[in-house]
Structure formats: C-alpha cells, structure tokens
Amino acid sequence: MSEAEDIPIFPLQTVLFPGGVLPLRLFEARYLDMLSECLRMQRGFGICAIRSGAETGRAADCYAIGTLVRILDFDRDDDNLLNIVVQGERRFRIVARRVMPNQLLRAEVAWLDDSSDCALAAQYHSLAELLSQLLRRAGTPYAEMPTDYEHAAWVVGRLTELLPFALHDKQRLLEMDVPSQRLETLYRELLAEEFRR
C-alpha cells in the first residue's frame, strides 16, 4: 500500500470494481458540491458499499475497501438532476474518515495493489460467454464499454457487478487481492446456485 490520500466518498448500495462503469443521478447538495470539486481539481472520488444507513440523508457507514472512480460523462436531465457516468480505476482501503458538516464523507485512503492480474484460464471461458450476453442485454453504458475478456480481473469484476448477488458477497470479492481467487470463488458460487435450482 502507498501513502494515504484524502478523497470524498460516495456510499452506495452497490459494489464497483476497477474497470467497471456506473451511471449515477445526483441531486443532494453534498454530492453536487463534490462533483464540482472533482471536476475543478480534475480528480476522482471513492465509491464504497454501505454497511448500514442509506444513500440519502445522514452519512452512511460504509465498508473500508472501495474503488476510486473518474467521471466519464455528465449532463442535466429534464428534472434538472445531474446524470453522470463514472468508471472504476483502483481499489483503496479507508484508514481514517470524517463526516463534513453537510454530511459528505471524506476519507484518508491507502491504495491497494492490483498488479496481480492473470489471463483467463480455459476452464472459465463459459464465464466470459455469460458476461458477453449480460453486457449486450444491459444497455447503455455497459454495452459500449471497452471489453477485456482475456483477463480474470476484468471478467470477474463485471460479472460481480451485474449478477444479483447479495451486497456483502460482492464486497467480499472486492476485498480479495488476487483476481484468480476472486474468479474461483465466483465460479464455485455460480455452480452452487445452479445446483440449488
């Protein structure tokens, strides 16, 4: 892990991996201010899954491991809400957090090492085929994202984001440091789910 850095945190009822895309609608003042800061400073913000609390109102308690995102696109809709699309860049661990007066969560984060990616082994090619089908059905922005079916981290990240697993199970996969371990765990859980049907 490297030296800690201060970033704003957006707690959500979802888990995003590096490489994943996520559309968001912003309407609370704290997140509009956060977006303005990020655009002005040309920096990203962190997304962390909520452990307890809600996405709106008081700052939620979130898991310690999340993903830094960068803003790909933004526009206002007819209701004057701000729509943005973000993409995950790198995982981090929260080492200290504080709640600002407007209930925006800020955190000192240490970056996690994501350099241990590996090629997708032949035994998992069926997962790549499943993912290809899911992305085609998912629509914008997922269907237009650059793909990398050859690498384990990309395949397991996208499958975990798109499949209807419980939030804590998705978080458990995000917290694993080795993509091949994530892939094997996901594969076993999918087989177990198929067996239960």
So what's the pLDDT on residue 189?
Answer: 86
Are 5-111 and 122-196 the same fold in CATH? Answer: no
Mean pLDDT over 154-160 rounds to 96
pTM (two decimals): 0.92
So what's the pLDDT on residue 52?
Answer: 96
Q: Which two tokens stand for residue 134?
A: 């899911």
Which pLDDT band, with edges at 50, 70 and 90, does 2 fall under?
Answer: low
So what's the pLDDT on residue 1?
Answer: 44
So what's the pLDDT on residue 159?
Answer: 96
**Range from 65-69, 137-141, 185-189 that averages highest in pLDDT:** 65-69
Which pLDDT band, with edges at 50, 70 and 90, does 193 fall under?
Answer: low
Q: Where are the domains of the chain?
A: 5-111, 122-196
- Considering the chain, what is the average pLDDT of its residues? 92
Count Cβ atoms within 10 A of the Cβ of residue 194 and give its class: 0-12 exposed, 13-18 middle, 19 or more buried: exposed
Q: What percent of the chain has pLDDT over 90?
A: 83
Which architecture, in CATH terms, is 122-196? Up-down Bundle (1.20)
Each residue of 104-123: pLDDT tens digit?
A: 999 999 999 988 899 999 99
So what's the pLDDT on residue 197?
Answer: 45
With a cut of 60, say whether residue 194 has pLDDT above it: no
Each residue of 3-30: pLDDT tens digit?
A: 789 999 999 999 999 999 999 999 999 9
Fold for the domain defined by 5-111: 2.30.130
So what's the pLDDT on residue 195?
Answer: 44
Mean pLDDT over 150-167 rounds to 95
Which residue, 141, 146, 157, is CA-closest to 22? Answer: 141
Each residue of 123-146: pLDDT tens digit?
A: 999 999 999 999 999 988 998 889
So what's the pLDDT on residue 100?
Answer: 96
